[in-house]
Amino acid sequence: MEAAAQEVSEPLLQVSAVTKRFGGFTALDQVDLAVAPGERLGLIGPNGSGKSTLVNCIAGTLRNDGGSIRFKGRDLARDPAFKRVHLGVARTFQIPRPFASMSVVDNLRIPLLYSGGSRVTLDTNKATDEAMHILDQVGLSAKADAMSGGLTQVDMRKLELARAIAAKPALLIADEAMAGLSASEVDDILALLFAMKERGVAVLMIEHVMRAVMKFSERIAVLVAGRKIADGDPQAVVANPEVIAAYLGQ
Amino acid sequence: MSNRKFAAVAVVLALALIAASRLVTNDYYFSAAYTVLQFVILATAWNILGGYAGYVNFGSAAFFAVGAYSSVFLYKAVNPPLIVMIVAGALVAGLLGLAVGYLTLRMRGVFFAIATLALAVVLHTFVVNWDYVGGARGAYILQPRDLPFGLKRYIHVLFGAMVLMTAFALVVARTIETSAIGRGLAAIRDDELAAECAGVPTLRLKILAATVSGALMGMAGTTFPYYLSYVEPSAAFNLSYAVNSIAMPLIGGMTSWLGPLLGAVLLGTVQQVVQVTVSSEWNLLIVGVLLVVFVTVAPNGIMGWIDAWKRRRRK
């Protein structure tokens, strides 16, 4: 089901035969996945299917036991997580992890300072302007000076996204950015992710909220029990009998 | 204030303090001030790793003793000038800090604290069995007879050295705190994984913090053999160094360089006063009581209290 166009142009991210084992349990089994520059890819699968493990392997917070992960043609095997962020892979966390002792705007200074490409110096107006601009986009500018630890769930999700955007990624991995949010909140976050397209940023969306995934994705990949069972056009994928069986049981 | 300006102010204040001390005739005050300043350095140094990065080092005594014993070793081997001992002790303790920095790779929280405590025990045992530096008997160190700058007693030299070292430690701590490194360390303290995923080279920063912290603690110990004229392992590895260098930043506030300074001056002075007026046995009890009070009443220390008060006023 691999889209033909993918094989012609060089993908931004190329995951090849990635395997990850935890003791005797194989969380990822020979998973292949490609993301083209600027593409919007949805990754779905039941709980425990290995979605987050795959994200962790791509982001470098877990090391894959087999296979390779290439980004912009570079093998990431030796790169620690922070280096991958510098290269252009940014992620959000399923459970928000704000820098709780810092204000919202200071949260953004960290990626701006450390992975903003052209390194911005500390506390300059430029850094503040940039941070405020991003907060504007995610709708958090009114809370710029609030302590990030006291934000509401939806605001923390937005902060997660803002922090990832501040790292100026070429690939943004949104790990269940919408779980537990109301319909209008989901729309807020979706609009934000759509806006990434204009920046030429590819988005890998891991999501359980099917409405969001279907609306957002140009392509959907399905993981079940650590294996990719489908990959292609969203409508075709959700009509795939194997996918239906995996979700509803047989 | 820029860091360069701060450094200039710190040096000027240090020199002024040294000059003003010439008016003091009672040598006890030099001895007491020396001890308080020594704790200012220990607290400031501890805070670089413990306060900024959130890695609680329970082995401050090990770093302090490494500084002290490197001086003892140099005294026995070549007897170089004091400044050489200070630099050498700081370097050796810095190397130990580097090793501790690599520990953070696999350990955090209480496990890291226990590992650093174990490090102190191991080094203590090592020194007890190292005959060249006196072993369990301890070593006698003679203070030099020739004093520079027309000073009358050697404690005046030690006091001057300690004042300058304190200024140096404060400048280093403030420079780290206000730089990108300080921001990175604060991110590590809040959430190490999130920091790494925001592009912060966490391991590199932790190793740097541990090395600088260790070097400064060692530096504080280098003049200790001259101060007492006699060093034994149980004095150099005393648990009170570990306890005080944690308690003082906790009481003062751990997020800025001013916190450890305030905490150490407050707690160190109270300890000195009590030692003279009541008894030296009371020292650790006072630390304990103050800790309990601060942890319950002002968990972010004096500085946290001041910050909260400022915020309330602004509103």
- Please give the interface size between A and B, counted as residue pairs whose CB atoms are below 8 Å apart: 78
**Per-residue pLDDT tens for A3-57?**
444 445 678 998 888 899 998 898 889 989 999 988 999 998 888 888 889 999 9
Q: Which among B94, B119, B43 is positioned nearest to B207, based on CA atoms? A: B94
Cα distance between the two ends of chain A: 23
d(CA A129, CA B261): 34
User: Residue A148: CA atoms inside 13 Å, Cβ hemisphere, count?
Assistant: 27
To the nearest whole Å, the CA of B60 is away from the closest chain A CA by: 26
User: Residues 149 to 178 of B: which have CB under 8 A from any A CB?
Assistant: 178
B chain contacts of residue A61, beta-carbon cutoff 8 Å:
193, 196-197
Identity of the highest mean pLDDT range in A113-127, B124-138, B164-178, B283-297: B164-178
Contact assignment for B198 to A80 by CB distance below 8 Å: no
Q: Where are the domains of chain A?
A: 4-248
Note the pLDDT of residue A5.
45
Residues A174-204: b if buried by 16+ CB within 10 A, e if exposed: bbbbbeebeeebbebbbebbeebeeeebbbb
Domain count for chain B, please give it. 1
Share of chain B above pLDDT 90, in %: 46
A82, A99, A100 ranked by CB distance to B196: nearest: A82
> Which ranges in chain B belong to alpha helices (H)?
3-21, 27-47, 60-77, 82-103, 109-128, 154-178, 180-190, 192-196, 202-222, 224-228, 233-236, 239-252, 258-277, 283-297, 301-314
Is residue B300, in this structure, part of any structural domain at all? no
Shortest CA distance from B180: residue in chain A: A122
Is residue B82, in this structure, part of any structural domain at all? yes
Q: Is B299 on the interface with A (CB under 8 A)?
A: no
Q: Is B256 on the interface with A (CB under 8 A)?
A: no
Is residue B213, in this structure, part of any structural domain at all? yes
What band does B249 get if pLDDT is binned at 50, 70 and 90?
Answer: very high
Burial of B45 (0-12, 13-18, 19+ CB in 10 A): buried
Lowest mean pLDDT among A187-191, B39-43, B70-74: A187-191
Q: What DSSP element (H or E) covers A84?
A: helix A81-87
- Counts for chain A of helices (H) and strands (E), in that order: 10, 10
Domain hosting B17: range is 3-239
The single-letter code of the amino acid at A173 is: I
A93, A101, A115 ranked by CB distance to B199: nearest: A115
To the nearest whole Å, the CA of B90 is away from the closest chain A CA by: 30
Contact assignment for B199 to A111 by CB distance below 8 Å: yes
**Preferred mutation among A87, A91, A110, A148 to probe B, highest tally of B CBs within 10 A:** A110
The mean pLDDT of B292-307, rounded to a whole number, is: 86
Q: Is A147 on the interface with B (CB under 8 A)?
A: no
B180, B193, B255 ranked by CB distance to A113: nearest: B180
Note the pLDDT of residue B52.
93
Asked if A201 and A40 touch (Cβ cutoff 8 Å), the reply is no
Note the pLDDT of residue B24.
82
Residue B104: pLDDT over 80: no
Contact assignment for A80 to B203 by CB distance below 8 Å: yes
Mean model confidence pLDDT for chain B? 89
Lowest mean pLDDT among A166-170, B84-88, B206-210: A166-170
Q: Is B193 on the interface with A (CB under 8 A)?
A: yes
Note the pLDDT of residue B309.
87
B180, B191, B201 ranked by CB distance to A97: nearest: B191
Note the pLDDT of residue A122.
58
Q: What DSSP element (H or E) covers B231?
A: strand B230-231
Contact assignment for A100 to B199 by CB distance below 8 Å: no
Distance from the Cα of residue A173 to its chain's centroid: 1
**Per-residue pLDDT tens for B7-65?**
989 889 988 888 888 888 888 888 899 999 999 999 999 999 999 999 999 999 999 99
Contact assignment for A114 to B199 by CB distance below 8 Å: yes
Is residue B261, in this structure, part of any structural domain at all? no
B chain contacts of residue A80, beta-carbon cutoff 8 Å:
196, 201, 203
Assigned CATH topology for domain A4-248: Rossmann fold (3.40.50)
Note the pLDDT of residue A117.
52
Higher pLDDT, residue B129 or B284 = B129
The mean pLDDT of B133-162, rounded to a whole number, is: 85
